[in-house]
Structure 1
């Protein structure tokens, strides 16, 4: 009995994280628990439990008499996310270069798949999945489980801002591919300073797109 309850909550949590919260249209709106329960195929209890976990993560607010609200990310939150990403990714670049563990093959594979999508100009959600795979591969290659876990914990926020950025700017997918290409080239050349600069530039440009009024 307990396991079915747990799986229902986990299903609801997965659906909310992967489908609902990353939709730009959902930002600044209230979620309908009954509708979500029907869509996911569970009762309202696991949906409520999943929402409370998201409240603890700061991704949802429960407002008295009004329900679950998805607050848009503020400019400050976006800047803080990019700052934390820059710290983690620059560190990962330096550590993997020093240890000879840069995951060039995995990063190139993700980048090539992104280039195909950029040419087609569709499927922003898959493009952002590949974007996260590209960056996560570098962080994972540090061999530091806590570091990798911390970076993975940013996943929902990264998907939210990533998809939003693609909707904000025409041709952003091609720009991202070019920026990723510069990161890979610097890592391939063994140039830690150039890699850090390429990471900073990529995140600065992403932040600029997101903070456009």
Structure 2
């Protein structure tokens, strides 16, 4: 019995991770229904763990279950985009002040992530764009984690799917956004390393405001 329970949990976790990391971050999936049978075949599990994973995603606010229709991926609204950027700004600015005050700026770790971003191809296809935004999210998460507040880190981490989805959308809506993001990240890191909390907050606010404005433009 224990082995069966563990297998079920493993299948659910596998399906949950696949949906979060491969399906829900695809901008083309917004406003569409998910086919449980097709997903089960893609993931290599039965429909039961897929259904269980979808219930977890409902609790995360990433999927809606519509009676007689199934699992629906709701579009990211303009209000949600604005609120996401506002929340990120609050959390990241707070983290920036803390790491500067406590001399815990993860300079090398963040620089390594930024360098990996910059090394991606200039012409990003869908897969490369997702990797670029994954590194973007990691860059900011490294700042958050360095502040040493586990609750804030977990809260920020839960924004992962929406951040990637929103970020990929922004990349494809504006030419040259890839280079701008890297430059904005470097400005944030330079301010952190210099110990200037006000300048770091200004750089963070600018970075998030540009992304928000791009997304709300359409």
TM class by smaller structure = over 0.9
- Secondary structure of 1:101's counterpart equals coil
Name the structure 1 match of 2:215. 210
Q: Distance in 1 between matches of 2:217 and 2:56?
A: 31
Unaligned runs of 5+ in 1: none
User: How many aligned positions are there?
Assistant: 213
Name the structure 2 match of 1:15. 18
Q: Distance in 2 between matches of 1:118 and 1:110?
A: 15
Q: Distance in 2 between matches of 1:17 and 1:210?
A: 21
Name the structure 2 match of 1:31. 34
TM-score normalised according to structure 2 size:
0.95
* Structure 1 residues 93-104: aligned runs within 5 Å: 93-104=96-107
CA deviation digits over 1:55-108, x for unaligned, max 9? 111111111111111000111111111011000000000000000001010111
Relative distance call for 1:108 and 1:120 in structure 2 (3 A) is farther
CA deviation digits over 1:99-136, x for unaligned, max 9? 00010101111111111115454511111111011101
**Aligned with residue 162 of structure 1, among 140, 164, 167:** 167
Q: CA deviation at 1:164?
A: 1.1
Q: Find out whether 1:59 has 2:68 as its counterpart.
A: no
* Structure 1 residues 26-175: aligned runs within 5 Å: 26-117=29-120, 119=122, 121-122=124-125, 123-175=128-180
**Aligned with residue 184 of structure 2, among 179, 184, 188:** 179
RMSD: 1.0
Deviating 4+ runs (over 3 angstroms): 118-122
Relative distance call for 1:142 and 1:69 in structure 2 (3 A) is same
